[in-house]
A and B are shown apart, each in its own frame.
Chain A
Amino acid sequence: MTKTILAVDDSGSLRQMLSFSLKAAGYGVIEAVDGQDGLAKAKQQKVDLVLTDQNMPGMDGLSLIKALRAMQNYKNVPILMLTTESGDDMKAMGRAAGANGWLVKPFDPARLTEVVKKLIG
């Protein structure tokens, strides 16, 4: 069965790129424009992995992770941050919020799909 990934980013081109790369690797992709939209879509349909940006208008990535981790069916779903932020303090906050990994932009499609495959097969 096709695994589904929720890609949350306020940049339309970045979502396009993520969608293209992940679909080419055989995954289904749901796109969300910010944390609030991501949360709404995660509630509508259970996804296998969440990939989220940090800096977004409205709800940011860390807040989205906290909200997802508070939901019973997202306690064990892998969540990856994909952001321009590379500071150790931000990474520590991501880890504390419940992220499973931190990817610094820009991403390389092959390396991204490798990580995703490692987490959800």
Chain B
Amino acid sequence: MRPHESPTGELMNAQVVRLLSDVSVHGDQHLAEVERDLVQMDVLLDEAIKKLCASFMAIHQAVDRQQEALNGLLADGMSAPEQAARISALRAEIAEHVGAAVTGLQFQDMTSQLIGRMVQHLAGLRDVFGALDANGAVLPESGDEALLAMLGDISDRVGARCSELAGSVRSTVNQRHMNSGDIELF
């Protein structure tokens, strides 16, 4: 093609397809990075929450032992009634905080489920780019119809992949607060 001359339809199609292919390669690289980071985040969250849980339980056990010691003192009559009442109230307060902490610490289970879903959807998006790239390698030889047919093929592949993904992806998490959920006995 000479300078200042418009590209012919076929040449234009080939350029469009090459551009699509370039987009797919770059998109795929970015998605691979996001996917890697999400998986890494999940690993770190899991590790952090396990350590938090272990420390939390150790603290709780220490508090329990302290409580037993105090109970022993109370039983031996070494404490005034008002002190006994105070210790009893503290025990109830600690139990309430422990319950709330156990409920709150479950955030990792839910975030992990959401990360798992994101990774599956990213994989689906990578498939889209893969379809673009695969078609980019086969350039249509003539006219707009060939380009339309190629884009239609990409659309079909992406649609089929979306249907597959819908059947295999894990359910989303709808909870908006870390309060305990409903209980229903059948």
Q: Which residues of A contact B (CB under 8 A)?
A: 9, 11-14, 16-17, 20-21, 24, 55, 84-86, 91, 95, 99-111, 115, 118-119
B138 at the interface (CB under 8 A from A): no
Whether B185 lies near A13 (C-beta < 8 A) is no
Query: Which stretch (B81-89, B139-147, B172-180) binds chain A?
Result: B172-180
Known pairs A95-B186, A101-B183, A109-B102; A14 contacts B171 (CB<8 A): no
Query: Which stretch (B28-36, B49-57, B67-75, B126-134) binds chain A?
Result: B49-57
Known pairs A105-B110, A108-B103; A86 contacts B181 (CB<8 A): yes
Cβ-defined partner of B50 (8 Å) among A13, A91, A95, A108: A13
Cα distance A21–B100 in the bound complex, in angstroms = 12
Residues of B within 8 A of A105 (CB): 106, 109-110, 175, 181
> Across chains A and B, which 10 residue pairs bring their CB atoms closest together, nearest first?
A104-B181, A108-B180, A106-B106, A101-B185, A11-B109, A13-B49, A14-B109, A16-B53, A102-B184, A106-B103
B182 at the interface (CB under 8 A from A): yes
Given contacts A14-B108, A24-B60, 18 further A-B contacts (CB under 8 A): A11-B112, A12-B50, A16-B57, A17-B53, A17-B105, A20-B57, A21-B102, A84-B113, A95-B186, A101-B183, A101-B184, A103-B181, A104-B175, A104-B181, A105-B106, A106-B179, A108-B99, A119-B185
Cα distance A70–B102 in the bound complex, in angstroms = 34
- How many of chain B's residues have a CB under 8 angstroms from any CB in A? 35
Residues of A within 8 A of B54 (CB): 16
B170 at the interface (CB under 8 A from A): yes
Give 9 pairs: A residue, B residue, CB < 8 Å, sorted on A: A13-B50, A17-B105, A20-B57, A24-B60, A84-B110, A100-B186, A107-B102, A107-B180, A115-B185
Residues of A within 8 A of B109 (CB): 9, 11, 13-14, 84, 105-106
